[in-house]
Structure 1
Amino acid sequence: MDKDKDMEHEDFKNLPRGIALSWGLVKRPQRGPKGELSIAQIIEAAIAIADKDGLAAVSMSRVAASLGFTAMSLYRYISSKDDLLLLMQDAVCNIPIPPEEQRNYWREEMRAYVRVTIHVFQEHPWYGDIPIYGAPVTPNNLKIVDWGLRSMRKLPFNDYEKMSIVLLLSSYARSCGIIQRDMARAVRTGGSPSAFSGLDYSAELKQLVQPDHFPYLSPVVQSGAYTDEIENENTVGNDFDFGLERILDGIEHYLAAKMPVAQMPSDIEKK
């Protein structure tokens, strides 16, 4: 395949350029001094800028300047900012996938999948600022999808069900990752965790949120649960873990409906 990486392979001519770049299917630039730049260098520089100053700070000219080149030099390698953003997304998804272990319980693997996905948003806060334009199609993104599917290798789900569950877990991880990112941003800019949760305004909310206008919310506010004044003994670690466990409960309930307990492998029965 090394030879194919130096040419635009006919079999992949329908791929958008950014996606083809992520798979190494685009010709290397012929003009300019040999080896003066590389796509990997450009992506690394762009990620460093985004990590430090946010996605809005990333431009072809700024990335080029950080490397000591002109923007035109970059365009010989990556033809648009959209392609650069796609490659940045894929690069930060190049994370170590835990080795497959036959004894791993599917819930444990799904927990790990969600937590590692959330970590990407924490490590690279700009990641969630890039809109979703379609299904993952770049190699590192697809490795993560493959990992998600691996957690269901022993479960009697069809391909549609497996992909739907991966989407459910990924959507939850994205939501949690963005919320945690926003909380961290609020604290960095002078806010406090208690302001973010509403705890600073708990007394005022208890007066404002009355049963005549908010019949179902009012008792929750009065109890202190809305602003995290109290801890629920049923939560596992925090709100995000609690939500994840309920998603996994739902998957397990669906699994039980498809396969009677008597027929379940021992690792599926394990709690």
Structure 2
Amino acid sequence: MTQNGSHEEQEEVLKSLPNGVTLSWGIIKQPRRGPKGELSIEKIVAAAIAIADQDGLPAVSMSRVAQSLGYSTMSLYRYIASKEDLLILMQDAVSNVPIPPEDAALDWRDGMREYVRVCVQVFRDHPWYSDIPIMSIPTTPNTLQIIDWLLRTMRDFPLNDYEKISFVLLLSSYARACGMIQRDMDRVIQSGRSPESFSGSDYSAALKYLVKADRFPDLYPVIHSGAYTDDTDSPIGNDLDFGLERILDGIAHYLENKRK
């Protein structure tokens, strides 16, 4: 089969994709006229996201979404066949982030920093995002657009495709971990607790009393130096930035060795 192939061959290939993925690509046509001619996949997904943002992912159901839109549950099934499909579409919709224009003068490290920052923000803006289990590699258009953006920063690297996609996985995994930590910190603060309780600085004195050198010989000096429960205006952000810079240092070192 050629890259384009016949129409029949293309249809056969696309059958391997989950239904929600084909919906995200617009491959499955929407009904021409829904109830009152007003319902659409976009409206359904937007309503589901609003519910998840406010009440969490468990609150999202086809009936709850339908109710919020003023339609019957069966009306939604004319557009989206299952909640699983809806979750795929929700993930892809919030992944529709602004992609910076190409800038030849931009340092690759700055490009990767921006990629991680944007990905972290998705988890903070939509705390439910990581509650959806990872079921496969990204296959929807907006998630693939983000990956394409990150690959752009590596366009001139002396690396093969496997190495590049491995760096995508490394940075994406770090962004996911950072995003979940930042999300949890946001939740702590929204619940009325202080940032200091999250960083542990509220417990610094107690830990210094409890952690003894004979039982925790290597943790003991760290606790007593204050590094373990650092009391700063941004107790988590600085630590996460430090980790990202070390990842970028590692990529730079790898590139240096490849160029030798």
The answer to whether the superposition gives a TM-score over 0.5 is yes
CA contact (8 A) 1:89 1:127 kept: yes
Amino acid at match of 1:143: Q
Give the structure 1 partner of residue 239 of structure 2.
239
* C-alpha displacement of 1:33: 4.1
* C-alpha displacement of 1:10: 4.3
Could you tell me which of 40, 56, 59 is aligned with 1:57?
59
Distance 1:210 1:141 in 2: 48
Could you tell me which of 176, 184, 190 is aligned with 2:192?
190
2:37 aligned counterpart, secondary structure: coil
Give the structure 2 partner of residue 108 of structure 1.
110
Could you tell me which of 150, 153, 172 is aligned with 2:152?
150
The two structures, once aligned, show a CA RMSD in angstroms of 1.9
Could you tell me which of 135, 147, 153 is aligned with 2:137?
135
* C-alpha displacement of 1:35: 2.8
Give the structure 2 partner of residue 178 of structure 1.
180
Distance 2:153 2:239 in 1: 23
CA contact (8 A) 1:224 1:230 kept: no
| Distance verdict in 2 for CA 1:27–1:47, change over 3 Å | same
Q: Superposition pairs for residues 86-101 of structure 1, below 5 Å?
A: 86-101=88-103
Q: Superposition pairs for residues 1-271 of structure 1, below 5 Å?
A: 9-29=11-31, 32-33=34-35, 35-229=37-231, 238-260=238-260
CA contact (8 A) 2:30 2:41 kept: no
* C-alpha displacement of 1:34: 6.6
Give the structure 2 partner of residue 5 of structure 1.
none
Distance 1:30 1:183 in 2: 45
Gaps of 5+ in 2: 1-9
1:191 aligned counterpart, secondary structure: coil
Amino acid at match of 1:161: E
CA contact (8 A) 1:9 1:25 kept: no
| Distance verdict in 2 for CA 1:90–1:218, change over 3 Å | same
| Distance verdict in 2 for CA 1:230–1:194, change over 3 Å | closer
* C-alpha displacement of 1:37: 0.9
Distance 1:28 1:132 in 2: 27
Amino acid at match of 2:49: I
| Distance verdict in 2 for CA 1:229–1:41, change over 3 Å | closer
Distance 2:161 2:61 in 1: 40
* C-alpha displacement of 1:17: 0.6
Q: Is 188-197 or 244-253 further displaced after alignment?
A: 188-197
Identity of aligned residues (%): 66
Give the structure 2 partner of residue 3 of structure 1.
none
CA contact (8 A) 2:92 2:142 kept: yes
Query: TM-score normalized by structure 1?
Result: 0.87
Amino acid at match of 1:187: I
Deviation >6 Å, runs of 4+: none
Q: Is 33-42 or 136-145 further displaced after alignment?
A: 33-42
Query: TM-score normalized by structure 2?
Result: 0.91
